[in-house]
Structures are given as structure tokens and as C-alpha cells.
Amino acid sequence: MRLIDHHCHGAVTGPLDRAAFEALLTESDRPPPPGCSGFDSQLGFAVRRWCAPVLGLEAHCDPGDYLDRRAELGPDEVNRRLLRAAEVEVFLVDSGYRAGELLDGPAMAAAAAAEVREIVRLEAVAEALDGVSAAGFADAFDRVLDDAAAGAAGFKSVVAYRQGLDFDPHPPTRREVTRAAGRWLRRGRPRLDDPVLLRHLIWTAVDRGGPVQFHTGFGDPDLDLARGDPLLMTSFLRATRDRGAAVLLLHCYPFHRQAGYLAQAFPHVYLDVGLALNHVGARAPAVLAESLELAPFHKVLYSSDAFGPAELHHLGAVLFRQAFGEVAGQWSKGDAERVAELIGSGNARRVYRL
């Protein structure tokens, strides 16, 4: 099953001790309770089950042994082994978050022996604007986005984190943008969380024809998950449905059935259950099956949302292939093969024009 991972981050460049590795296996920003192990989760079990053999260990090996072996091989070899064994043809990489710790595009491509294309994180581009005035914000953003988007495959919004998916569905006026930019500049350009500017970024990407990815569903504790339900975007989806820009709902869990409805109801809406499949480990078939209830099969994509350990890029692919095999077992062989092609890579190729 050919795979395009349509949303992930880079693999981590440096070595990871046990605390650092465990910290990257959870969305929490705190360590586990004293005496408890970050490996005691579906994701931790899945790493020991599926990644250990790729590093030459027995499945289910002890976490200590796993990390010893990891250190022994070194980050480059670990990345190379896990990324290549994922057998992913193209990675679409959002490098707008903690890029300094992660392989950049060319390094990722070399390690994985795969193609790498960029996803432009809208908020990161705006936050990097330099020497801009309130009145000049919109034009400056447009210019910088031109550069950033050259060669990129699409855009991404993290409005779910910054405000919530219940954002005002309509584009702000030029005047509102100028005023909001003024406020933001006077506040000393903090993390961009102004509702008007966030909407301006999104509509700029829509006006360029997208595709635009949205973080939806669970994530780290910065998030208010109740405001991460993609149904909160319904009016926005209605407002954009004839604009020609595809909207891709990422992760979605535990609202993936709701996302499936949106993917059926609106012609430009797509979804994946990336991130979720890794975290739920052995439960991946159940979650993938739910995401494929209402969503038409030309509206679902594969992603890992891996960030950091190449285990996550690897597991995403392993768990997805297994889960898909179980779900597709209910269909005829011909149907299963055709849907595998669509969801594994064909839909991504079409949406991102790869």
C-alpha cells in the first residue's frame, strides 16, 4: 500500500534520553506520576511492539533495553532505519514548530529516501514578519507568504490552539486587519492569537486556492478540546465551499465521526485520523473504521502527524496499514485495493497536485 504522509513534522536530530523520549510519547507537558512510566500507554506498547524489531530487538522488549539500543545505534541510524521501513513515498512537512530540533526537508528526504514537500504554517509566517507597520501588515504577509508558498504543497492553521474552531466564519475587512495588526504590534508581537489576524491568515490561504490544513481534535494541554470539534467550523465550511480551496481536517479524534459527516456534506472537506492512530496503538482499527463511516473514500487521507522520534513516522505507517487491512476486510478485494490507493496516496496526490 503506497503511502503519502500528508501531515507530519521532522524527525529529531539529536539523541534522546529516557525522560526526553517519554516526553515525546505524550501530549502532556508534565512527567508521569512518580514511579510511573511514560511507556505505559497504547503508544508506548506500540513502540515496543513494532519499532523494536526495526532496531534489531525482540518485540515487546523492555523500555530500558530499547533506549540503550537506540543510543547505541545513534540518531542518524535510528532515523534512517525507522523512516525507510515506513515505506512512505512523500512526506508533507510542517516545519513551523521547534524546527531547530528536527531534521530539515533535505535531511529528512535523505534519511527516509523519500520526497519531502513543505506545508506552510500560517501563524509562523506571520510571526516572522519583520519591520512591519499596522497598515502594511496585510501586504507584507502576502509578500512573505508568496516566498514561503513557493514550492510548498499547502498551508496549515493552528487556530484551534490560538482561539478555537468557533472562529467568526467570515473574512475580516482590510480595516479590521489594520487595526488588529496595530494592537498586536503595540503588544510587542506576542504569539499571534488575535482573532481577526488569525482569520485573515486563513482567508488569505483560502483566496490563494489552498489547500488549507486545520488542526482539529486533541493535542497538547494548551488546547481547549471542547473548542477543537470541527463541527464548530460548519459556518466557515459553508462560506468556503465554492471557493476552490480544499480544507483538510487533521487528527479529529474524538470528533472523527463528526469530521466524517463534514467530509460527506461539503465538497471541499477532507480528513485524516493522524496522531490518533499512533496514540491509540492497538485500537487503530476501531478508530480508522469510525472515520470511514460517513466520509466518502475520496475524502480521507493518511498522515502520521509524527513530531520528533522517527518511531512516530514509522508507527503511523505500520498502524495505518494494519488498520486499513482490517477495515477493508469487509469489502470485496477489488474495492479494498481501489480504496487503499485512494486513501494511501491518490487523494493526497489529487488534493495537493503532487
40 lines the binding site for a copy of itself (CB under 8 A): yes
In the complex, minimum distance from the CB of residue 215 to a copy of itself, in angstroms, rounded to a whole number: 14
Q: Which of 15, 131, 3, 22 is nearest to 73 (CA)?
A: 15
CB atoms near residue 30 (< 10 Å):
8
209 lines the binding site for a copy of itself (CB under 8 A): no
Chain residues 249-268 in contact with a copy of itself, contact rule CB under 8 A = 253-254, 257-258, 261-262, 264-267
Cell digits of residue 144: 512573505
For 221: left if phi > 0, alpha if psi spans -120 to 50, otherwise beta; the answer is: alpha
Chain residues 6-35 in contact with a copy of itself, contact rule CB under 8 A = 26-28, 30-33, 35
Give dist(CA 243, CA 226) in Å, integer: 28
In the complex, minimum distance from the CB of residue 66 to a copy of itself, in angstroms, rounded to a whole number: 13
Measured between its terminal Cα atoms, the distance across the chain in Å is 18
State the Rg of the chain over Cα: 20
Residues 227-246: x/- map of binding to a copy of itself (CB under 8 A)? --x-xx-xx--x--x-----
Q: Which of 147, 140, 131, 135 is nearest to 189 (CA)?
A: 131
Please choose, out of 79-87, 179-187, 198-206, 292-300, the segment that lies near a copy of itself by the rule CB under 8 A.
292-300
Q: How many CA atoms lie within 13 A of 272 on its CB side?
A: 31
Q: Which of 15, 17, 56, 60 binds a copy of itself (CB under 8 A)?
A: 60
- Note the residues at the interface with a copy of itself (CB under 8 A): 26-28, 30-33, 35-38, 40-42, 45, 49, 59-60, 218, 220-221, 223-226, 229, 231-232, 234-235, 238, 241, 253-254, 257-258, 261-262, 264-267, 279-280, 282-283, 286-287, 289-290, 292-298, 330-332, 334-335, 338-339, 342, 350
